[in-house]
Amino acid sequence: MSVFAGPLSRLIDELKRLPGIGQKSAQRIAFHIERAAREDAERLSQAILEVKDKIRLCNLCNNLTEQDPCEYCSDPTRDQSVICVVETPYNVVGIERTREFHGLYHVLHGALSPLQGIGPEQLRLKNLMERLKSGSVKEIIVATNPNVEGEATAIYLSKLIKPLGVKVSRIAMGIPVGSELEFADEVTMLKAMEGRREI
Ligand SMILES: [Zn+2]
């Protein structure tokens, strides 16, 4: 038998299923919700349901959106000749925060991983190839993760897209800003040397 009353115990169990939430955090949040005003609890549950009901994938780029096409694909001021390919919608947010990229995006929703049975057909690639058919795209920037899966995906995309006459580039990898060279491992150091640029 749980030490918590039934509804509290159920709420704690649900909260514990969220990423990064352990037993103690779940308890703290559950007790906070119990003490909160009913309107606050309603707003929270409504916000959760709205995400489930109103968020879908953009037909063009597979980004999460409330409107289709998404705000990036339907923005005429963005550079239509460059598409940045990322693994997850979360990566789009990271690149947007830099305020330096003004092209379009394409979200694969994963990366190639033969060990986990993820092949090209499991990635959302079909509509990317459709987008390239128009001829207006001049460059694809592959911004997949700097790990085995992300690298394999980048190489696969390069082989697939280069024959179409579209430039394929890969984001530079190397030393994280704010860190020190002496802590960089060999692979990171090698990538940083390869990705050097003239100053
Ligand atoms: Zn879109």
> Tell me: the pLDDT tens digits for 2-34?
788 899 999 999 999 999 999 999 999 999 999
Residues bordering ligand 1, an ion, CB closer than 5 Å = 58, 60-61, 63, 69-70, 73
* Spacing, Cα 44 to ligand 1 middle (Å): 27
CB 174 within 8 A of CB 195: yes
Range list of β-strands (E), the chain: 56-57, 64-65, 82-86, 104-107, 139-142, 167-170
The dihedral of CA 57, 63, 69, 71: what is its sign?
Answer: positive
Query: How far is 61 from 71, CA to CA, in rounded Å?
Result: 11
For the chain, give the percent of residues with pLDDT over 90. 78
Average pLDDT, the chain: 93
* Spacing, Cα 102 to ligand 1 middle (Å): 13
CATH no. for 64-193 = 3.40.1360.10
Domain ranges of the chain: 6-54, 64-193
| 6-54 CATH fold | Helicase, Ruva Protein; domain 3 (1.10.8)
Q: Is beta strand 82-86 parallel, antiparallel or unpaired with respect to 139-142? A: parallel
* Spacing, Cα 192 to ligand 1 middle (Å): 32
Residue range 172-178: mean pLDDT, rounded: 85
pTM: 0.84
